[in-house]
Amino acid sequence: MKLPPFLIILVLALAGCSAEPEAQKAPAIKVDGDVAVLAEPDKATFLKLAVVEKDKGGTLHLPGRLVWNEEKTVRVFAQVGGRVQSIAVDIGAPVKIGQPLAILSSPEYSQALADARKARADAQVATQALERNRVLREAGVVAEKEWQQAEAAAIATKAEAERASRRVADLGGEGDGTYTLRSPLAGIVVERNLNPGQEFRPDQSGSPLFVITDLTTLWIQLDAVETDLARLKKDEPLLIESKQYPGERFKGIIRHVADFVDPNTRTVKVRGEVPNTDRRLKGEMFVNALVELEPNAALRVPAAAVFLFGKQRYVFVEEATGRYRRQAVEAGTERDGLIDIYAGVQEGDKVVVEGCLHLLKYFKPESKPEPVAEKQADK
């Protein structure tokens, strides 16, 4: 017999009400203190593990920049004002000590030459006068006072002649009235900041007329974090890598580690020296420095295994398949994707590398301590 539609709906509704409720699904992970236990240990494959190992050394990577070796670099300024008549060298030119760089027309230099020549002439006249007074003094013709005056005049003029001569010597020595700007260092001209006809004064602030450096060595300026200080020592070797020369490494050496930490960046300046006899490396080039590190007493785990819970750092240690203990650790710095561990785990332990956050979400957040004032008020 065919039932009416409303009776079919009524039968189905009564059948649904009489059905037993579905059993509540058991949680996938249970937490017992600091231990997380999987309800189905055979499904623990979603967790990736790594073995705690001893430190095997490694490589410290530091960003750096190549600059001129300041111990072999000179910035040339003119000591007198004037006008540029001609330029003897250009950027990239090798120069020797004393080689002319530029010829300047300088009234100041001409005046210095005239002063020196006049001072020498005055000194000569004073010396001759002193000799005449000496003869007359011995003959009893000249009084002692006149002799002393002549002697003082000779000494004063001689001192002035020496001063004027030193001034001319500092400016490059005697000349024809033009001032020759010379190189005080053998090296390469890496910067030139003057043009023919340009006028300047020595009291003007600005760039040096020439920068000359010895390019056979360069300095490398490095920025190291505070935790790297113990591993960076003077005279330790380092290697230089540059994007301009992929696959190549250049040898260098650490020359100086700064005695203070930059308060803004919290980094320490480290200076190294790099041979550059073939001049392939260039000033202001960005590079990476590699410092080989010796093994230390710490254990090492992948950085992904360490997490922060509250104010403490932890790892999950596998006690058995599907059973993981949240273990507090004393962690150090990260290097090459691994973190130094000084306490909390042992060599050979297995720690969770992938899946830590999934386990961690089953732990309750640490409760905050009740303020002391509120406790006293309750009493």
167-199 residue pLDDT tens: 656 555 566 667 788 899 999 999 998 888 877
Q: Are residues 234 and 250 in the same domain?
A: yes
Q: Are residues 303 and 289 in the same domain?
A: no
Q: Which two tokens stand for residue 276?
A: 């550059």
- Domain of 134 in residue numbering reads as 112-161
Comparing 187 with 261, the larger pLDDT belongs to 187
In a domain, 12, yes or no: no
> What's the CA gap between 163 and 185, in Å, rounded?
25
Helices (H), 139-249: 144-170
Comparing 369 with 89, the larger pLDDT belongs to 89
Encode pLDDT of 305-352 as tens digits: 888 887 888 888 888 888 888 888 888 777 777 888 888 888 888 888
pLDDT at residue 8 greater than cutoff 70: no
- The CATH number covering residue 344 comes to 2.40.420.20
Q: Strands 35-38 and 350-354, how do they pair?
A: unpaired
Q: Are residues 307 and 286 in the same domain?
A: no
Contact 213, 187 (CB under 8 A): yes
Chain position carrying tokens 């130094």: 340
Amino acid code (one letter) for 266? R
Q: Are residues 307 and 356 in the same domain?
A: yes
> What's the CA gap between 237 and 234, in Å, rounded?
9
Encode pLDDT of 42-85 as tens digits: 777 778 888 888 877 777 788 899 999 999 999 988 777 777 88
In a domain, 133, yes or no: yes
Plot region of 43 (φ>0 → left; ψ -120 to 50 → alpha; else → beta): alpha
In a domain, 166, yes or no: no
Q: Are residues 219 and 273 in the same domain?
A: yes
Q: Are residues 288 and 222 in the same domain?
A: yes
> pTM to 2 decimals?
0.60
- The CATH number covering residue 224 comes to 2.40.30.170
Q: What are the strands of the beta sheet with 338-343, ordered from one edge?
A: 53-54, 299-302, 338-343, 330-335
Average pLDDT over the chain reads: 78
Q: Are residues 269 and 337 in the same domain?
A: no
Q: Are residues 251 and 223 in the same domain?
A: yes
Rounded mean pLDDT of 26-30?
65
In a domain, 239, yes or no: yes
Who's near 308: CB < 8 A, 6+ residues apart? 314
Rounded mean pLDDT of 20-49?
69
Q: Are residues 233 and 276 in the same domain?
A: yes
In a domain, 129, yes or no: yes
Q: Are residues 246 and 309 in the same domain?
A: no
In a domain, 317, yes or no: yes
pLDDT range class, residue 216, cuts 50, 70, 90 = very high
Q: Are residues 284 and 312 in the same domain?
A: no
- The CATH number covering residue 135 comes to 1.10.287
pLDDT of residue 74: 92
The percent of residues above 70 in pLDDT, for the chain, comes to 79
Task: Identify the domain boundary among 293, 311, 342.
Answer: 293
Contact 123, 157 (CB under 8 A): yes
Who's near 230: CB < 8 A, 6+ residues apart? none
Who's near 224: CB < 8 A, 6+ residues apart? 62, 232, 257, 267, 268, 269, 270
pLDDT at residue 16 greater than cutoff 50: no
Contact 215, 279 (CB under 8 A): yes
Q: Are residues 226 and 289 in the same domain?
A: yes
In a domain, 7, yes or no: no
The domain tally of the chain equals 3
In a domain, 255, yes or no: yes
